[in-house]
Structure 1
Amino acid sequence: MNNSLQVKKVLNNNVVIVTDSNQKEQIVIGKGIGFGKKLGDPVLSNQVDKLFVLRNENEQEQYKTLLTYIDEETVELINDVIVHIGTRFENDLNEHIHVALTDHIAFAIKRLQQGMDIKNPFLTETQTLYPKEYTVAEEVIEVINKSLKIHLPEGEIGFVALHIHSAITNKSVKDIKKHSELINKLMQMIQHSMDLEIDTKSINYLRLVRHLRHAIERISMGDIMEEQEKLAKVLKEEYPVCYNLAWKLIKVMQNSLNKPVPHAEAVYLTMHLQRLSRYDN
Structure 2
Amino acid sequence: MDEMLTIDKVLNNNVLIAKHPSYEEVVLIGKGIGFSKKKGESISFNKADKTFLLKNENEKEQYVNLLPHIEEGFIDFMNDLLHHIESRMGQGLNEHIHVALTDHLAFALKRTQKNMQFANPFLPEIESLYPKEYQIALEVVTMVYDQLGVQFPEGEVGFIALHIHSSVTDKTLREINRHNQLITQLVEIVEETMQVKIDKQSVDYHRLVQHLHRAIDRVYQDENVGDEIRLAKMLKEEYPVCYNLSWKLIKVMQKQLNKPVDESEAIYLTIHLQRLTNKS
TM above 0.5, one fold?
yes
**1:161 and 2:164 are equivalent in the alignment:** no
Residue of structure 2 equivalent to 1:7: 7
Letter matched to residue 42 of structure 1? I
**Structure 2 matches for 1:179-194, cutoff 5 A?**
179-194=179-194
Residue of structure 1 equivalent to 2:29: 29
**Structure 2 matches for 1:65-76, cutoff 5 A?**
65-76=65-76
Q: Is the 8 A contact 1:85 1:136 kept in 2?
A: yes
Q: Is the 8 A contact 1:17 1:28 kept in 2?
A: yes
Deviations 1:60-117, CA, capped at 9 Å, x for gaps:
2221121132232333322321121111122110000011111111222232244322
**Structure 2 matches for 1:1-281, cutoff 5 A?**
1=1, 3-21=3-21, 24-35=24-35, 37-39=37-39, 40-45=41-46, 47-48=47-48, 50-58=49-57, 59-278=59-278, 280-281=279-280
Deviates more, 1:200-209 or 1:260-269: 200-209
Gaps of 5+ in 1: none
Inter-partner Cα distance in structure 1 for 2:78 and 2:135: 17
Inter-partner Cα distance in structure 2 for 1:80 and 1:274: 47
SS in 2 for 1:124: helix
Inter-partner Cα distance in structure 1 for 2:247 and 2:23: 58
Letter matched to residue 43 of structure 1? S
Residue 139 of structure 1 and its aligned partner are, at CA, apart by 1.0
SS in 2 for 1:5: strand
Distance 1:75 1:42, change over 3 A: closer
SS in 2 for 1:211: helix
Residue 142 of structure 1 and its aligned partner are, at CA, apart by 1.6
Letter matched to residue 122 of structure 2? F
Distance 1:217 1:23, change over 3 A: closer
Gaps of 5+ in 2: none
Letter matched to residue 156 of structure 1? E
RMSD: 2.1
Please list every run of at least 4 consecutive aligned residues from structure 1 whose deviation after the TM superposition is greater than 6 angstroms: none
Query: Quick one: percent identity of the two aligned structures?
Result: 49
Distance 1:30 1:196, change over 3 A: farther
Letter matched to residue 220 of structure 1? Y
Q: Is the 8 A contact 1:7 1:42 kept in 2?
A: yes
Deviates more, 1:203-212 or 1:1-10: 1-10
Inter-partner Cα distance in structure 2 for 1:206 and 1:234: 25
SS in 2 for 1:150: coil
Deviations 1:232-279, CA, capped at 9 Å, x for gaps:
11111100111111111111111111111111111110011111221x
Distance 1:103 1:223, change over 3 A: same
Deviations 1:20-66, CA, capped at 9 Å, x for gaps:
23693222234443345454232232x35x41312414232221121
Letter matched to residue 258 of structure 2? N
Number of residue equivalences: 278
Distance 1:166 1:207, change over 3 A: same
TM-score, structure 2 normalization: 0.91
Deviates more, 1:245-254 or 1:62-71: 62-71
Inter-partner Cα distance in structure 2 for 1:236 and 1:141: 47
Q: Is the 8 A contact 2:129 2:213 kept in 1?
A: yes
Deviations 1:178-237, CA, capped at 9 Å, x for gaps:
111111221122222222232333322222111111101111233244332221111111
Q: Is the 8 A contact 1:28 1:54 kept in 2?
A: no
SS in 2 for 1:68: helix
Q: Is the 8 A contact 2:7 2:17 kept in 1?
A: yes
Residue 17 of structure 1 and its aligned partner are, at CA, apart by 0.9
SS in 2 for 1:121: coil
SS in 2 for 1:28: strand
Deviates more, 1:134-143 or 1:182-191: 182-191
SS in 1 for 2:168: helix
Inter-partner Cα distance in structure 2 for 1:162 and 1:78: 17
Q: Is the 8 A contact 2:26 2:51 kept in 1?
A: no
